[in-house]
Amino acid sequence: MSKSLVFNKVPLEEIEVGMSVSYSQTITDSDIKAFAGISGDRNPVHLDEDYAQKSRFKKRIAHGMMTASYFSALFGTKIPGEGCVYTHQSLNFKKPVYIDDTVVATVTVTNVDIEKRRVKFNTVCKVQDVVVTDGEAELHVPLEFNKIIIDNKEELLKYKTQIFKLFKDSFNDTIDDELWKWAYIDNPNGNPIVSLYFDGSKLVGHYAVVPINLIYQQKSIKALLSMTTMVDASYRKYGIFVEQANEVYEKACTSGYKLVCGFPNKKSAPGFKKRLGWTLKEDLYVAKFSYDELQSIEKKTYPNAISFNTQDQENIEWRLNKPNKEYIRKNNNILKKFDGNFDIVFNGSDFSMLDKNYEYNLLLDHELDKYEDKKQFDYIFGYKLFDSTLAGIEFKKDLLMSDVF
């Protein structure tokens, strides 16, 4: 098939009702034979001259679907252009098309739905102004984003204003400037990995992980903590979150990270499990205890588990310098003041040195279900391993791993 198409693309926002483009092609014997081979339609009315002469057509005819395929050529290369996806096509075959006929295919815009990103067309093929094929078509025009992966703190600072605006638009709240700087810029464990999606100049998607220092069998584990996921409300139906997360994870793997972990909320947890392949531990809860109740609580030991690395001085100093929070170390426990009492953000098991005049919030799992009458709320921990040699290893779950934002 000889084609003389100019490849281009019309942005959805510039497509208007009445716009029309055409393409012409003269049907040849080789075209028909090639189409028969591709489609598998070897009906002799297309290929056998003797058979065709005895038919009502009197000579060989082109496949009807071959002429209809010229509509696809127009959609894919002119309007909407490359990247568009067929969703519907109706066809009426009105007249036969013969070898040496010149077919002129024309598509005309009849409707544009910006929100659903759909465009409808009238589709017509003519031979010498006689309609041989007509119908209606619908095309979906996917969004194309400008995608940026950042793994450098200085580079990330260039997008700070846009990131803060997206947070405001997504959650109707503001990011604490000091907190953001502490998590992303002052973090001593390395550079964050951040995926940013832009529609034109507008930031519409953000997924980020920050490095954290974990420990296993006295060896440091290079890990990441999943951070704020943000997608502009108008773009949440396009699967941006999954694309961005997978791009970040691919970058993390090539950068030598062993895993990503986090504490997704109930609303987002199913997406992390189903779409991103996370393993979720959904049997956690936070319970409140008095000092005396803590002393008799059943202890769960973690002799062979990954945990937050409190032995690395630089790591723990950074972690306990989270802005606007006050942390206290008591024996092997780390506490954070909260509503006049304390969260035990790192469980050191020995609670004898704690102050007797306060109540304490402690993260437990449902193996210790006899304390559920003390439950304040449920908690979810999740992770995705990049290093398969870690498969099956348990995690010591502490609020210190999640209490970042």
405 pLDDT tier (thresholds 50, 70, 90): low
What pLDDT was estimated at residue 6?
Answer: 40
136-146: average pLDDT: 91
The string of pLDDT tens digits covering residues 199-213 is 888 999 999 999 999
Backbone angles phi, psi at 30, to 5 degrees: -65, -35
**Residue position matching structure tokens 């077919």:** 103
| Omega prior to 323 cis, within 30 of 0 | no
297 pLDDT more than 90: no
- Using CA atoms, how far residue 290 sits from 97, 177, 287, 360, in Å, is 88, 35, 10, 6
CB 104 within 8 A of CB 39: no
Angle separating helix axes 29-39 and 64-77, nearest 10 degrees: 90
* Closest listed residue to residue 167, CA positions, set 177, 178, 158, 157: 177
Q: What is the mean pLDDT of residues 33-37?
A: 93
How is residue 283 written in tokens?
Answer: 């049997």
The pLDDT > 90 percentage for the chain reads 75
| pLDDT of residue 66 exceeding 60 | yes
In this predicted structure, the answer to whether residue 252 has a pLDDT above a threshold of 80 is: yes
Which pLDDT score, from 0 to 100, does residue 339 have? Answer: 85
pLDDT digits (tens, 9 = 90+) for 144-186: 889 999 999 999 999 999 999 999 999 999 999 999 999 999 9
Query: What domains are defined for the chain?
Result: 12-140 (3.10.129.10), 143-405 (3.40.630.30)
What tokens does 354 get? Answer: 């704690």
Evaluate if residue 90 carries a pLDDT over 90: yes
Can you tell me the distance from the alpha carbon of 403 to that of 325, in angstroms, rounded to the nearest whole number?
11
CA dist 99 and 27 (Å) reads: 5
The answer to whether residue 283 scores a pLDDT higher than 50 is yes
- Residue 403 has what pLDDT? 67
At residue 337, does pLDDT exceed 50? yes
CA pseudo-torsion sign 226, 231, 233, 238: negative
How confident is the model at residue 267, as a pLDDT?
Answer: 85
What percentage of the chain exceeds 70 in pLDDT? 97
Cα separation values, 399 from 100, 144, 146, 343, 402, Å: 76, 39, 36, 8, 5
Mean pLDDT, rounded, for 91-111: 96
Taking the C-alpha atoms of residue 39 and residue 61, their distance in angstroms, rounded to an integer, is 15
Query: Does 1 have pLDDT greater than 50?
Result: no
**Better-scored residue on pLDDT, 66 or 349:** 66
Higher-pLDDT residue of 147 and 298 is 147
3-state secondary structure (DSSP) of residue 137: strand
Note whether 47 and 34 are within 8 A (CB): no
Tokens 């001085």, residue?
A: 313
Answer yes or no: is pLDDT of 404 > 70. Answer: no
| Neighbour count for residue 209 (Cβ, 10 Å) | 24
The per-residue pLDDT for range 345-369, each reduced to its tens digit, is: 999 888 999 999 999 999 988 776 7
* pLDDT, mean of residues 243-249: 96
pLDDT digits (tens, 9 = 90+) for 2-22: 333 344 678 888 899 999 999
- Segment 26-53 shows an average pLDDT of 93
Q: What is the mean pLDDT of residues 135-147?
A: 92
